[in-house]
Structure 1
Amino acid sequence: MDLQDQLKNLFPDHVSEETTDNPEETPDIWMQDDPIICKYEKRKGKPTTVLEGYTGAAEDFKKLAKDIKTTLSVGGSFKDDKIIIQGDYRDKIMQILKDKGFKVKRVGG
């Protein structure tokens, strides 16, 4: 008997609310017509992936940056309307953005 069944026995009149919490789906992010530019740079000898060209609100871009960083389990930052990800993750980031519905353009290499 799991916890859910025990709670049903204790509170038989309670109606549970089913919540479908999907972390991959990010509602309330503005989709744009122009593609997001995904490029590779070396900064201080280390590889970085830079995303730029988002024309929506900065808060939406910050949410997108956080989603990418947690999905890939990497470090990064959001500065000057750019997402900077530590490491060369262009292919994975482009796939994540395409799954979310964004248009992505690969620049360099």
Structure 2
Amino acid sequence: MDLQDQLKNLFPDHVPEETESTPDESNIWLQDDPIICKYEKRKGKPITILEGYTGATEDFKQLAKEIKQTLSVGGSFKDEKIIIQGDYRDKIMQILKDKGFNVKRVGG
């Protein structure tokens, strides 16, 4: 007897609500050209830069926020570029590939 059967026995008059299944994918526009993921050092500290997104600026800002939250790192969005503090190229590229983006690694 599984949980659903037990609940039906406890609450025979209850009608379960139907929930819409919404995919976890956000509505970010996927592009044909690859997003460029490169590594630099500024003032002796490593940073990862993402550039080359041709969609809406708000979508790119949302993508920056998701990456920063997933990796628990700081960063910013300036001049159509996402700047992430630290060298997270491999992790960022995997996150973007899982979302369906084409990513190109540049530098090192």
Confirm or deny that 1:98 pairs with 2:94.
no
Identity of aligned residues (%): 74
Q: Alpha carbon RMSD of aligned pairs, Å?
A: 2.3
Runs of 4+ aligned structure 1 residues displaced above 2 Å come to 12-22
Q: SS of the counterpart of 2:83? A: strand
For 2:61 and 2:35, the matched residues in 1 are separated by 14
Per the alignment, residue 18 of structure 1 pairs with 19
Q: Please, which moves more after superposition, 25-34 or 90-99?
A: 25-34
Gaps spanning 5+ residues in structure 1: where?
A: 1-8
**Residues 41-88 of structure 1, C-alpha deviations (whole Å, 9 max, x = no match):** 111110000000000000000110011011101010000000000000
Q: SS of the counterpart of 1:68? A: helix
Larger radius of gyration: 2
Per the alignment, residue 36 of structure 1 pairs with 35
Confirm or deny that 1:84 pairs with 2:45.
no
TM-score calculated relative to the size of structure 1: 0.81
For 1:32 and 1:83, the matched residues in 2 are separated by 16
- 1:16 positional shift: 3.0
Q: SS of the counterpart of 1:18? A: coil
Q: Please, which moves more after superposition, 13-22 or 80-89?
A: 13-22
Q: SS of the counterpart of 1:105? A: strand
Gaps spanning 5+ residues in structure 2: where?
A: 1-9
Q: Give the partner amino acid of 1:70.
A: Q
- 1:27 positional shift: 2.3
Confirm or deny that 1:61 pairs with 2:60.
yes
Q: Give the partner amino acid of 1:16.
A: E
Per the alignment, residue 50 of structure 1 pairs with 49
